[in-house]
Chains A and B, each alone.
Chain A
Amino acid sequence: MNKSLDRGPGDTLRSLRLRLTGRRLRLSVAVVLLVLSGVGQSVAEMKPLRLCADPDNLPFSSNHPETPGLYLEIGEAIGRVMGRPTTAVWNLTYFGKRSVRTTLLAGQCDASVGLPDDQDFMGPRVIFSKPLLQVGYALVTSKSTRVSGLNDLRGRSVAVQFASTPQSMLAQHDNIRMVTFREPEEAMRALAAAQVDVAFIWGPTAGYMNKTVLQDAFNIVPVAGPGMQWPAAVAFPRGQALLRDEVNRAIDTLGTVIDALKLKYGFPTAEPMTLSTKNGTTEAPTLTSLNARRAEAAAPLPAAQAGERTTGQTTLTTEADIAEGQEVFNGICAHCHGPNAVQAERRIDLRLLRHRYGGKMDETYLDTVTKGRPAKGMPNWSEVLTTEQVNKILVFLHTVQVE
């Protein structure tokens, strides 16, 4: 979902994102230190609980250490109760079922937080914990607006998502003007800019944006009905009933933790309302006029500070560091990536890191080394290499980049 934040016209959002990205480098190093410094030696022997998660899907999960996301933080909390460390196995979820097939069901991870506990989802191949949250679509309105039935939406413009249940529902009401967006973030931006009167979109995303960049300007009320709300739970492959039971016991103790996390991520907490479809049973429309809304929107969105941006360059640059990085590289990494990083197979040719990732080269390197890419055969090196070694290898790699 962040991809639309990247692309969108919202400069505010973009600088917020940059700020997060900028902090990321130091934080990942900190995470590595934490892992290596023996904090929790007792759990080091436990096999980590591997959680499948999308690296770019806030508010649900992300690879930004500052905001791991609701699902990932719940997973980490479950791990703490069970006394097991957790690791994230990153995979993109543009096509949800395909990613479940190729990760959870292919043994790449042990559990996936936040899948719909519904027999229609993937059948008996996937089993579920107790439900953690009720997630679904919500009506997003200004504070002064009340919507209790579809009648209140008559003559109004309503932002919906492409191929969503609300789009299908409102398509049956010709007197409601739908404005369609591919992503819920785009719909929220249109609402904030008073280009639409109401948004009927994915609630958790609306809540997160409302909290983080829109100064809580909007009311968010989940909507009940078929195809509107789902119980989100932890999913496991069939055959992992024992793990599921253990996770269920952990969940029983996490009520307050989950409530705090909901608050942190702006998750909508109101009871789902039933949208009345009857004529004449609701009060007169109470929507504020579009003009008034436009005036509200003229006030600028909260400006995110430019924030400190680290350049992504480490400070270790001496010849000795380069030589040491090269030595470690040739002793360990060269096995796959080639001596002195000379590798003809482009896919694993690390001389192309800058060409491929540009300003995100360091970030991508650190992320890959400390978390691994199990699906592609890259192990997690965080328990083998010291932070210093990881950094020196990076310094060496900077000297061999080609365009």
Chain B
Amino acid sequence: LVFPEVVAQRRRNASKKEEEMSVRLKLLAGAALAFGILIGVTQVGFAEDALTNADSNGWLMYGRTYDNTRFSPLTQINTQNVGQMKLAFAFELGSLRSNESTPIVIGDAMYVSTSWGPKYVYALNAQTGERKWTYEPEIPDDVLQYACCDVNNRGVAYADGKIFVGRLDGKLVALDAKTGKELWTADVVDYKQGSVITSPPLVVKSMVITGFGGGEYGARGSLQAYDINTGKQLWKTWTVPGPGEPGNDTWKGDSWQHGGGVAWLVGSYDAKTNTVLWGTSNPSPWNAAVRSTGTSDYGNLRNLYTASTLAIDADTGKIKWYLQTTPEDAWDYDGVNELVLTDLKINGQDTPVMLKADRNGFFYVANRETGKLLSAEKFVPTNWAEKIDLQTAKPVEVSDKRPGMAHPVKDVCPNLIGGKNWQPMSFSPNTGLVYIPSNNICMDWSVSEVNYRRGVFYLGAEFPTHPGPGGYMGELIAWDPVAQKKAWGIKEDLPFNGGTLATAGGLVFYGNLHGLFRAVDAKTGKELWKISLGSGIGAGPMSYAVGGKQYVAVVVGRTAAIPAFLGDVGKQMVAATPEGGTLFVFSQ
């Protein structure tokens, strides 16, 4: 507080403008240096202690920790006593439909966002549910027009006494965690291009990093890092390379300019190698012949770095390596799904890995320090590719399952919502299993439908949807990532069920589209507890402890826009429950 006053005083005293400027600059530089050192120390300390070495009571970010395992080490609620779990409190979010938020808990404060922008962010007392403050941003009326896939928001991030919120209107804001007051606002992307922010950003050191959505509407993806204190942009990395950058020659003509590859879901961070890992969406436009050959014989025209995992140096934003899962995508198989980081014994070797249940139906295990693919197997019924070639990481495609202008295809699995969508999976180091909210839906794909956007008609893609083999449409799959096979599963009649939480109490929690919230034995899948919460559940549950007591929390509120893409299946999804928007918190 002293420095600005000194600067102001000197400014008043300065007689010549040039002198004034020079004094100001020197003082500002001095001040910045002094601040920088202090802040730098605080930040490093903060990042190391608070976010990297998380205490077991809190839930510090979307996936609890940087590794996105959604594993709570708490054991108070366990397989023996989960049957006695009761409601601790409920909180109405004040916003209906598509509530996809995972609350975070820092100390005794919980921060939870709602759908529509978000319409609200609340700070609550995590023990009582008592509200501390409400943030209600000014979201433009017309934003629903530009949000391809509903007005969802998946949560907020925390660091250094600040809450960070990505918004549908393309802005990233920092709030004072104590008061909810806006500290700064950064313009990340123009929402009127169909680009919206729906997922929480990732805080690394003194940076807050975010992507955005809009792959279908001609956006060119990027990841952007901002200073947590000032909101100033520190780096911006295009996820589709421009001319002169490696990978630009994987695009035909000028198609890279509207190439998609947006990073609309959440990132992970490996502190050991200072690497940010983030998935990217499908390329655009949907007609692959515009950006490549339009056939399985795509050669070099793979459309990098779409439908990929990107490893990025956190300090510079430089791309270290990539792993593309669906080259020259033609099925809308986004590669955005979250990377779960852990160490596994692969062929007898302790290996640092990243796990991804891809939309394309394959479960990928890769070395997270090199990007080398270690294994990839089908975790849901999948017929667009026979297998993934482990040497090249390329799929061995079934060519009559690749849709194109001249060849509509029938019965491709998975359909465009993928073997797994945004709903987060979890990993328990105790069982060694990954708990995947999976979908079993197939589609036909043709390109004759007439579409319309702001005055212009064009040929659209149509994708009638039907249940996959077996007739069920969803399944909670407990997956062994070492053996690459299913340990057990619980089938669901509908797709698009809720994310999962694994705990050291030997439990897995998850909700479904009927609003049923369950606890099952993490080893066997045996149902131990359930409660009906009234509206469809998509969000991932979380767990925390305050005052020596463990709580389990979940946000409910059925999806609304995705069913519109799914015809009769969509009608069943909408009919399953009313819209909703409530936070439920349970304890013993």
Name A residues whose Cβ lies closer than 8 Å to a Cβ of B.
Answer: 1, 3, 54, 57, 60, 92-99, 101, 115-116, 118, 120-121, 135-136, 161-165, 167-168, 171-172, 177-180, 182, 184, 202, 204-205, 226-227, 230, 346, 352, 355-356
Contact = CB atoms under 8 A, between A and B. Distances in A.
A393 B280 CA distance: 50
Given A162-B258, A163-B218, A95 B138 contact: no
Contacts of B456: 161, 164, 184, 202, 205
30 contacts: A1-B455, A57-B454, A60-B455, A92-B454, A93-B452, A93-B453, A93-B454, A94-B145, A94-B453, A95-B453, A97-B451, A99-B145, A101-B564, A116-B457, A120-B448, A121-B450, A162-B284, A163-B218, A163-B286, A163-B458, A165-B458, A167-B285, A167-B287, A168-B290, A171-B289, A172-B289, A180-B255, A205-B455, A205-B456, A227-B459
B588 interface: no
Contacts of B290: 167-168, 171
B287 A168 contact: yes
B254 A180 contact: yes
A97 B142 contact: no
Contact of B451 (A96, A178, A352): A96
Given A98-B564, A178-B254, A346-B138, A163 B285 contact: yes
Contacts of A179: 254
Nearest to B456: A202
A356 B455 contact: no
B83 interface: no
A96 B454 contact: yes
B364 to A, nearest CB: 29
Contacts of A93: 452-455
Contacts of B146: 94
A57 B405 CA distance: 29
Nearest to B137: A346
A38 B290 CA distance: 57
Q: Which 10 A-B pairs have the closest CB atoms?
A: A96-B452, A163-B285, A227-B459, A94-B145, A162-B218, A171-B290, A92-B145, A121-B450, A118-B450, A120-B450
* Interface size range on B against A: 35 or more
B449 interface: yes
Nearest to B405: A168
B454 A163 contact: no
B221 interface: no
Nearest to B459: A227
A330 to B, nearest CB: 25
Contacts of B449: 120-121
Interface in B471-508: none
A251 B258 CA distance: 41
Contacts of A57: 454-455
B252 interface: yes
Interface string B185-202: 000000011100000000
B214 to A, nearest CB: 11
A162 B214 CA distance: 14
B253 A177 contact: yes
Contacts of B286: 163
B33 to A, nearest CB: 35
Contacts of B145: 92, 94-95, 99
B300 interface: no
Contacts, number: 104
B92 interface: no
Nearest to B148: A95
A167 B145 CA distance: 24
A267 B131 CA distance: 58
Given A54-B454, A95-B453, A171 B252 contact: yes
B459 A1 contact: no
Contacts of B287: 163, 167-168, 171
A356 B138 contact: yes
> Which of B193, B285, B456 has the largest count of A CB atoms less than 10 A from its CB?
B456
Nearest to B458: A164
Contact of B138 (A92, A226, A230, A352): A352
A165 B450 contact: no
Contacts of A96: 451-454
A135 B457 contact: yes
Nearest to A172: B289
A162 B285 contact: yes
A360 B193 CA distance: 22
Nearest to A229: B457
A230 B564 contact: no
B459 A97 contact: no
B457 A178 contact: no
Contacts of A356: 138
A178 B257 CA distance: 12
Nearest to B285: A163
B457 to A, nearest CB: 5
Interface string B236-266: 0000000000000000111101100000000
A352 B448 CA distance: 46
Given A116-B457, A168-B289, A168-B290, A3 B192 contact: yes
Contacts of A118: 450
B455 A116 contact: no
A161 B454 CA distance: 13
A96 B453 CA distance: 5
Given A171-B289, A177-B253, A136 B459 contact: no
Contacts of A99: 145
A205 B456 CA distance: 9
Contacts of B193: 182
Contacts of B386: none
A116 B564 contact: no
> Which of A57, A115, A182, A205 has the largest count of B CB atoms less than 10 A from its CB?
A182
B454 A94 contact: yes
Interface in B85-144: 136, 138, 142
Contacts of A346: 136, 138
A180 B290 CA distance: 10
Contacts of B452: 93, 96-97, 115-116, 121
A95 B252 CA distance: 27
Contacts of B252: 171
Contacts of B454: 1, 54, 57, 92-94, 96
B570 to A, nearest CB: 12
A177 B255 CA distance: 11
Contacts of B254: 178-180
Contacts of B458: 163-165, 227
A167 B138 CA distance: 38
B138 A355 contact: yes
A167 B459 CA distance: 11
A94 B147 CA distance: 10
A254 to B, nearest CB: 21
B218 A230 contact: no
